[in-house]
Chain A
Amino acid sequence: MKILVCLSNVPDTTTKIKLNGDQSALDMTGVQWVINPWDELALTRALDLKEKSEGKIDTITVITVGESLTEPTIRKALAVGADDAVRINLNPTDDYEVASNIAAWVKNNPYNIILTGIESSDYNGSAVGGMLAEFLKIPSVSSVSFLDMEGDKPLMKREIPGGTETIRVPMPFVAIVQKGIALDPRIPAMRGIMMARKKELTVVEPAGEGSKSTYIGFAMPKAKAKVKMIDAENAGQLITLLHEEAKVI
């Protein structure tokens, strides 16, 4: 069995966002690039499943749609334990283009399970996983917080408002994962970093559809008014202010 993990290459979550002079683009100079946190957890879970599968899961492949600047991120995933990697050489402008291009690869290189994160921490689209499944005409399960194999059959839990559902769908499928899928991401060890250099990173040219949307400008959020401090001794006054001034209770 083969698992594919889709990796989004994103600025480190503590990055201060800056705009260029005419606000037409984000200024990405000096940004530290990392694996999108959900994708890191997806990869961790895939590796856990492989290790306990007694050989039934033979390869974990990672894939990124991005130009060569994404390679350090891909190498990190290889260092953590992915077996091989694919980079689709394209600077995508939307989720449609990303999903369509991954689908084009998967059509010729099938996988049993495909994992994506619920959201990329840069453009917050929450769309690539579902779109990919639709392009491939295979099932997708969203908000997945648990994935395990029961023999040859995968079992999942998805988080619904106020609870969880235990779900099964036939393979191949896309699982769109979120909190709970793995506890902590694996950190690459020295040995892994050395081995990663020898692992295969296949670069392919785009074969999917183009984008349907594009960002044409950016803005910083409006600055918030200064906080109104309330004396701790008279903390109860807050309730009055919330009712009379803020009108939220």
Chain B
Amino acid sequence: MSVIVYTENWDGKFKKSSYELVSYAHALASELGVETIAISIGQVPEDQLNALANYGANKVLCVKNPELAVLDNAAYASAIARAAKANNAQVVVFANNFTGKAVAPRVAVKLEAGMANSVTTLPLSFSPFVVQKNIFNGKAQGNLQINSNIKVLSLAQNSFGVKESSVSLTIENFDAQLDSSKFNTELIEKNTVSGKIILTDAELVVSGGRGMKSPDNWGPLEELAAILGAGTACSRPVADEGWRPHSEHVGQTGKVIAPNLYIALGISGAIQHLAGVSSSKVIVAVNTDPEAPFFEAADYGILGDVNKILPKLVEAAKAFKAHS
């Protein structure tokens, strides 16, 4: 019996979120008294695979079938479900990210499993199997009881944390036995921006709203982000008006993020905006309006004109970095 965790790689490398995922799977497996088995798809160097032992993976299955070169949701689901069956998985764990959302539901159907996405903690109980998850975009929490033999979970990023626990690890190849005639996702073009911090990965985020007044005022915001090593985000109207790229829009209709620090500059804190950022560990709000709803969701607040305050923050951040 086992807990299976799908550890995605990016150009042959794992990220901190992969280690968080393995930490979570290992904690689950320990409670259940079973093995933690990671599945890795594609070419990943051995030192990367070995590093998963530091977070509790007992085994890594390397899947290298050519049908998996492009993300075909059905092919990935077939490979992972096959590995889960072959290893008698009780729980299959995904990250609640792009790939997890694409693949996990298909795996659930293949395994006739109930699924809970975006869980943030270990199950409240194992028998019955009950997990807590956010519903209504964080406005409430629900206790979901999963009744199937196998369960599929996806973990919200940055919710459980990386936990070290050294075990010994074996690496095995696993042939997913895919029938290539069945999978036909054709990748025509790929466009990626390089060099920028990917918002959903960012641990620190600096974000601007309509209170920034003009797209020309973003210079100091970007400077602050660069000094802190933070990603940049914005509210919906800012993206809609073309002040900032749509990829920066966070909220219910944009990206959902949970960084360690979210600095909201001139953003009112509408419920639809908060839906995308309220799981951030620490929130800072800067606003001229003492009644702005963001102050209720924030840990730190500054009342005042953002365009006067930003230069002070930039200066302080520079001084801080110079000393640390």
- The interface of chain A, by Cβ under 8 A from chain B, is 11, 13-17, 19, 26, 37, 94-96, 99, 118, 121-131, 133-135, 137, 139-143, 155, 159-170, 176, 179-180, 211-221, 224-225, 227-232, 235-243, 246, 248-249
Give the complex CA separation of A168 and B72 in angstroms. 11
Chain B residues in 8 Å Cβ range of A220: 140-141
In the complex, whether B241 has a CB less than 8 A from a CB of chain A is no
Q: At the interface, is chain B mostly helix, strand, loop or mixed?
A: mixed
Give the shortest distance, in Å, between A14 (CB) and chain B (any CB): 6
Query: Is there an interface contact between A142 and B73, defined as CB atoms closer than 8 Å?
Result: yes
What residues of chain B lie closer than 8 Å to A118, measured between beta carbons? 101
| B98, B104, B260: the one within 8 Å of A161 (CB) | B98
* B→A interface (CB under 8 Å): 72-74, 77, 96-98, 101-106, 108-110, 112-118, 130, 132-148, 184-194, 196, 198, 200-201, 204, 228, 246-247, 249, 252-254, 260-261, 271-272, 275, 281-282, 284-285, 295-305, 308-309, 312-313, 315-317, 319-320, 324
Q: List 4 tightest A-B contacts by C-beta distance, closest first.
A: A236-B316, A212-B114, A130-B105, A163-B192
Question: When the two chains form their complex, are residues A161 and B102 in contact, meaning their CB atoms are under 8 A apart?
Answer: no
B316 with A246: CB separation less than 8 A: no
Question: Complex: how many Å from CA A13 to CA B300?
Answer: 27
Contact A227 B301 (CB under 8 A): yes
Min Cβ gap A159→B in Å is 7
* Distance between Cα atoms of A248 and B299 in the complex (Å): 12
- Which residue of the partner chain, among B105, B118, B253, contacts A131 with CB atoms under 8 Å? B105
| Cα-based distance from A176 to B281 in the complex (angstroms) | 30
Contact A130 B302 (CB under 8 A): no
**B128, chain A: closest CB distance, angstroms:** 8
Q: Is A125 a contact of B298 with CB atoms below 8 Å?
A: no
Q: Say whether B196 contacts A162, CB under 8 Å.
A: yes
Additional A-B contact list (18), CB under 8 Å, known A124-B134, A165-B187, A168-B185: A19-B140, A126-B101, A130-B103, A140-B73, A141-B185, A143-B101, A162-B198, A212-B108, A212-B112, A215-B145, A218-B135, A227-B296, A228-B300, A235-B312, A238-B284, A240-B320, A246-B300, A248-B261
Residues of A within 8 A of B72 (CB): 139
> A160 and B192 in contact (CB under 8 A), knowing A131-B106, A214-B147, A242-B261?
yes
